[in-house]
Amino acid sequence: MRILYATSEARPLIKTGGLADVSGALPVALRAIGLDCRLLLPGYPAVLAGVDAVKPVCTLNELPGGRVATLLEAAMPDNGVPLYILDAPELFQREGGPYQDVAGHDHPDNALRFAVFSKAAALLASSEFSKNAPLAWRPDILHCNDWQTGLAPAYLRLAGETTATVMTVHNLAYQGIFPPADLITVGLPPESFAVEGVEYYGNLSFLKAGLYYADRLTTVSPTYAEEIRQPALGMGMQGLLAARGDDLVGILNGIDSGEWNPSSDHHLPCKFSSRALIGKKHCKLKLQQDLNLEPSHDTPLFGIIARLAQQKGLDLILAVADGILHRGGQIALLGTGEKALEVAFRDLCAQHPGRVAAVIGYDEGLSHRIEAGSDLFLMPSRFEPCGLNQLYSLRYGTVPIVHATGGLQDTVEDGVTGFVFHEPTPHALWLAIERALHTYTDAKAWQRMMRAGMKRDFSWEKSAREYEALYQKLVG
Ligand code: ADP
Ligand code: GLC
């Protein structure tokens, strides 16, 4: 079975969040069970710089806005997964991130950029194209991810093509919403601008296009798949998602257990495992030194790694920070995002030297060292489609404290592998922290909990089998 996995980011080439972790690892797991899965990525500078032996395949010219692009063929570094790159320099080769400029503003032509990317994915999956194209490979399934690829199922269907499509929602909060005039920019027919189509409260929504036109919908945890059918977390799409109930499933993300393995992680000053935990103590001391925290074995160290966004419930952490410090704890945060949150954590750090560290920025190595060196991990997200950091925490013996939502609820077992609270309020978070601190004082009980988490299996194989079953149903 041939799968084209269209995504706007994939590690190690380009990453802003968990989507890149998933896109970097799931295709490897699918190939390991015998599926011919290939990636399609936009030709950002980091992508072109990160691959060797790039080969031009063909020119794509039926793209929105009269754009022309070159399809390149390469392979992912490290694992060799076949990679197609959409090279359109005027759209993708620019400074800043994949979606925003250096100042943090959305690129003004995002509608066109990701319409072109979606159309390229649709072309590669269409029978008409493969009849005439030099690319002999044609997928049985086009697997789209998030709003950036949401138009692809619409282009395919509206062209009368029947290639099966899957749309995965990694986060319903990002919907790719553009003014109605952009319907012309993206080259969709006027009749598609309807409730039964791409229209969303008077605007054009790329994500809705995917949710409406794709054959099957998935999201990244079973609980989130239920939550998004309800008004509270459905972000206005609950009606459509409830109506498509039978087509929507939640498949839990896995983790790249080679990349996130405390017994071989090259980012760590010292390795450890559930049988030999001593190395974790060294990781903690070294982390404290590196972040200018008072070095101490006994101090409970709380780690936080997150995009600083409303979703992640960081305001709840700010509300209980004094309590944590009062109880003798330390806090180590790594994150970047909303300015107000960056300032708030910087201030907290300035007020409590030696007790709070706030590193504002993006640092992959440090994210591994915080996972390894912390005792506890705070993840009070208001909603969380899956969440990966709680999984990394479990693997690294760092006990997670999480809000019972989405994938957090599906992966952390209260009182066994972590602490779960049910209301997204400072009070409920604080009660969970108190329970955790109480257990922390009992070294045996704490180690039992660390080990219970470290032994849980969150590798990709099981999820890859679930995707395979879904694909199989689609191609009959
Ligand atoms: P989301 O995709 O909503 O941001 P996830 O928990 O699924 O949340 O994934 C976040 C990923 O991004 C993890 O791999 C995490 O380690 C990483 N990450 C987030 N912020 C940073 C940062 N400032 N520096 C390094 N890695 C980060
Ligand atoms: C999104 C979600 C996160 C999920 C990730 C990968 O960014 O916010 O919960 O883990 O996608 O699926």
Q: Please write the tens of the pLDDT for every residue from 142-177.
A: 999 999 999 999 999 999 999 999 999 999 999 999
| Assigned token pair, 329 | 């704890």
Tell me the ligand closest to 307's alpha carbon: 1
In the predicted structure, residue 255 carries a pLDDT above the cut 80:
yes
In the predicted structure, residue 402 carries a pLDDT above the cut 90:
yes
Residue with CA nearest ligand 1 atom 20: 306
| Assigned token pair, 387 | 């969440």
**Angle made by CA atoms 165, 167, 173, in degrees to the nearest 5:** 160
Do 236 and 346 share a domain, yes or no? no
Q: Which residue has the tokens 């922390």?
A: 440
In a domain, 260, yes or no: no
In a domain, 10, yes or no: yes
Do 337 and 468 share a domain, yes or no? no
Total domains present in the chain? 2
Do 332 and 404 share a domain, yes or no? yes
Cα–Cα distance measured from residue 164 to residue 81, given in angstroms and rounded to the nearest whole number: 22
In a domain, 195, yes or no: yes
Percent of the chain with pLDDT over 90: 96
Q: Which residue has the tokens 């997204």?
A: 424
Hey, which of 16, 207, 219, 388 would you mutate to test ligand 2's pocket, going by the most ligand atoms within 8 Å of its Cβ?
Answer: 388
Provide the Cα torsion 279, 283, 285, 290; round to 10°.
160
pTM of the model: 0.96
In a domain, 270, yes or no: no
The domain of 439 spans 278-457
Helix (H, G, I), strand (E, B) or coil at 42: strand
Return left, alpha or beta for 361; rule: phi > 0 is left, psi -120 to 50 is alpha, else beta. left
Please report, for the domain that includes residue 196, its CATH number.
3.40.50.2000
In the predicted structure, residue 127 carries a pLDDT above the cut 90:
no
Q: Which residue has the tokens 């700010």?
A: 318
Do 142 and 170 share a domain, yes or no? yes
Do 406 and 465 share a domain, yes or no? no
Residue with CA nearest ligand 1 atom 4: 17
In a domain, 266, yes or no: no
Do 223 and 301 share a domain, yes or no? no
Cα 56 to ligand 1 centroid, rounded to whole Å: 33
Do 448 and 468 share a domain, yes or no? no
Ligand 2 pocket at CB < 6 A: 17-19, 22, 170-171, 220, 253, 384-388, 407
Do 436 and 306 share a domain, yes or no? yes
Provide the Cα torsion 47, 53, 59, 60; round to 10°.
-40
Where residue 68 falls among pLDDT bands split at 50, 70, 90?
A: very high
Please name which of 180, 168, 236, 215 lies closest in space to residue 475, comparing C-alpha atoms: 215
What average pLDDT does the segment 320-325 reach?
A: 98
Do 399 and 467 share a domain, yes or no? no
In a domain, 173, yes or no: yes
Do 169 and 316 share a domain, yes or no? no
Q: Name 121's Cβ contacts closer than 8 Å, sequence gap at least 6.
A: 4, 6, 40, 142, 144, 149, 152
The finding on whether 25 has its CB within 6 A of some atom of ligand 1 is no
Do 71 and 203 share a domain, yes or no? yes
**Residue 30, φ and ψ in degrees, nearest 5:** -70, -40
The pLDDT value given to residue 40: 98
Q: Which residue type sits at 82?
A: P
Helix (H, G, I), strand (E, B) or coil at 423: coil
| Assigned token pair, 103 | 């100042």
In a domain, 354, yes or no: yes
Tell me the ligand closest to 19's alpha carbon: 2
Do 146 and 193 share a domain, yes or no? yes
Cα 21 to ligand 2 centroid, rounded to whole Å: 9
Cα 178 to ligand 2 centroid, rounded to whole Å: 22
Residue pair 188/214 in contact by the 8 Å Cβ criterion = no
Mean pLDDT of the chain: 97
Q: How far is CA 152 from the centre of its chain?
A: 20
Half-sphere exposure of 471 toward its Cβ, with a 13 Å CA cutoff?
Answer: 23
Where residue 110 falls among pLDDT bands split at 50, 70, 90?
A: very high
Helix (H, G, I), strand (E, B) or coil at 208: helix
Helix (H, G, I), strand (E, B) or coil at 247: helix
Tell me the ligand closest to 370's alpha carbon: 1
In a domain, 263, yes or no: no
